[in-house]
Structure 1
Amino acid sequence: MRRLRIFQSLWAMQPHDQSGEMLPLDRVAGMVADAGYAGLAIDLGAADIEVAHAVRPHLAREGLTPLIVAFPRSVESLRDTLKMAVDFGSPYVNVVGQVFPLTVEGAIPVIRRWIEMSDEIGMPIHFETHRNCITNDLFSTLSLLDAVPEMRLAADLSHYIVDREFKLPLADWERGLLSRCLSRSDSFQGRVASRQQIQLQIGFAQHAKWVTLFESFWAEGFADWRARNDTGDLVFLCELGPPEYAMTGADGRELSDRWSEARTLMATAEALWADLGGDG
């Protein structure tokens, strides 16, 4: 059986909306569960190990699955995070590697060693397409995918739309580069970007063309994943970050309600999945 499981990000919940209120962890877990999410991603780049352990009992109480997002600053430091993820029951570890050599040739042994660790410990890893890390650039990431066939991605293409400053409409060859990433992705993240901004307000009319683009990415990625997998869970992570990811006005107040937008993203992902046949 194939299932779509939609997660929310703890980072995105602190604060979760325009009020700027920092909710206690028990209320965050309750809100996420009540909204229908399957789990909560614990971003170790935005929170420390103590926060991860503090939120854990609240996730268990609410029936939420934890998802560990790692930012390893050395090759060996990922090992302890993988062991932690096994203990937490994370379905995989989302890796945003803070070891990033200047050349593809230098990055290949780092990627291979992290994959070896994953196999040794028995915890799958997905390398997130993310700026300021080992997958910083689309072109170098594509070269890594060619060099390391077992490398799997967590597709957050918002980073590459900004990184390469893609214009609309995408040329066929540009879309083809992004499709190569989607075909190697085993999880997906929900954020909409433009060539200038990493995170757009999805309900603003002027951003509709970018929303349409990202919906097409997710539909393509979901379909490709289904073609490769007869069983298993596909994770879609809603990750609308707080300021300074979220844009603010002169008063410092966010321009849109991210908590509402995250639920819109959840509904979008569910609809795209249903169009492809849904669970089963």
Structure 2
Amino acid sequence: MAAFDRLNDGSNDAPRLRVQQTFWGMIKLPMNAETEWTLDEKFARCKDAGLEGVECWLSDDNEKEVTEALKRYGLRLALGHRPFKLEDTQKLIERAVRVGADYVMAQPADAYTSVDVVAKLVTEGRKVANDAGLCYFVETHRNNFTETIPQTLALIERVPEIRITADLSHFVVVGEFYGWEAERAHERMLPILERVSHIHGRISNGEQVQVDCGDGSTPWARFFVKLWALAMQNWKVGAGPGDILPFSSELGPPRYAITTPGGQEISDRWEQGLLMTRLAKEAWESA
């Protein structure tokens, strides 16, 4: 199993950070425009920004169009899914192998599913993925079993070898963290941060799951840089040649994005997404 704890490109290169974008996060861009960017415009902008891949949830309807566009721009692919049963993961792995995805991530079940069921689901799902030569990461996310720190810790106790896609914005908004020392957020999350192999770039201020961070100097931005750096520091322990830590900017469209009553977004998600990658690189350097 250890060979699948981190994404690896098979090279002898030093362990590195890979910045990328989520497909979902490019819905309704550019900001408040009458016409949305085409698929080619979206991927061309990713390429021009130095992003290396796009994370997608594909269907039979868009698989061919999206994967062909990614190839045109030399962008890598990762796939996500929300499994309730092993068959969900088996179908995803078939698709992942077919389209040449680098790794897969899972948002497992929901908060009303027992830890026994979820532990079995992610253990068997990881085996299916690993048998196909793919890493399998479990995402921390609201409306999944992993929506809270205590539930995620309970899952780790059952499946200590689990590897995490850290979308820490969910923990922060559910736990109503403000980044204060007395909250012990870093300490409470540490067993999770020790298992991170993939990070989603979204920042919460403890009240909203996704907020504008200005130039990155806001208190909530600095809080997340510290969290990401701690996860990266733990990832670097034991990392070897060819290992890659993917960081995916994931700023969602409305209703994730805050809007006026008329539905106009108040923050430029594309520019803020690029800020996420800059903050990720800063965290990497400080890790």
Pairwise same-fold verdict (TM > 0.5):
yes
Cα displacement (A) at 1:197? 0.5
Correspondent of 1:262 among 255, 266, 273: 273
Structure 1 window deviating more from structure 2 (25-34 vs 239-248): it is 25-34
Gap regions ≥5 residues in structure 1: none
Name the residue aligned to 1:8: 21
Name the residue aligned to 1:28: 42
1:67-87 per-position Cα deviation (integer Å, ceiling 9, x unaligned) = 111123432121121121123
Distance 1:102 1:132 in 2: 11
1:145-224 equivalent positions in 2, closer than 5 A:
145-171=156-182, 173-203=184-214, 208-224=218-234
Cα displacement (A) at 1:101? 4.8
Cα displacement (A) at 1:239? 0.2
SS of 1:6's partner is strand
Determine if contact 2:78/2:103 at 8 Å carries over to the other structure. Answer: yes
Distance 1:27 1:8 in 2: 14
Pairwise CA RMSD: 1.9
Structure 1 window deviating more from structure 2 (162-171 vs 207-216): it is 162-171
Distance 2:30 2:180 in 1: 32
Cα displacement (A) at 1:52? 2.8
Name the residue aligned to 1:272: 283
Determine if contact 2:186/2:227 at 8 Å carries over to the other structure. Answer: no
Name the residue aligned to 1:249: 260
Distance 1:67 1:49 in 2: 16
Cα displacement (A) at 1:246? 0.5
Determine if contact 2:141/2:167 at 8 Å carries over to the other structure. Answer: yes
Distance 2:227 2:270 in 1: 22
Distance 1:209 1:225 in 2: 25
Determine if contact 2:166/2:198 at 8 Å carries over to the other structure. Answer: yes
Cα displacement (A) at 1:204? 7.7
Name the CA shift for 1:168/1:222 in 2 (closer, same or farther; >3 Å): closer
Distance 2:208 2:43 in 1: 29
1:98-177 equivalent positions in 2, closer than 5 A:
98=109, 101-171=112-182, 173-177=184-188
Distance 2:192 2:30 in 1: 31
Name the CA shift for 1:52/1:100 in 2 (closer, same or farther; >3 Å): farther
Distance 2:187 2:204 in 1: 18
2:42 alignment partner AA: V
Determine if contact 1:72/1:99 at 8 Å carries over to the other structure. Answer: no
1:17 alignment partner AA: P
Correspondent of 2:86 among 55, 75, 80: 75
Name the residue aligned to 2:77: 66
SS of 2:160's partner is coil
1:195-237 per-position Cα deviation (integer Å, ceiling 9, x unaligned) = 21010111189x8111111011111111111112123111000
Cα displacement (A) at 1:189? 1.0
Name the residue aligned to 2:3: none
Name the CA shift for 1:37/1:125 in 2 (closer, same or farther; >3 Å): same
Determine if contact 1:137/1:160 at 8 Å carries over to the other structure. Answer: yes
Distance 1:224 1:175 in 2: 13
Distance 2:57 2:49 in 1: 20
Distance 1:178 1:170 in 2: 13
Name the residue aligned to 1:226: 236
1:19 matched to 2:32? The reply is: yes
Distance 2:198 2:208 in 1: 23
Matched residues, number: 272
Distance 1:204 1:262 in 2: 11
Cα displacement (A) at 1:59? 0.7
Gap regions ≥5 residues in structure 2: 1-13
Determine if contact 1:75/1:110 at 8 Å carries over to the other structure. Answer: yes
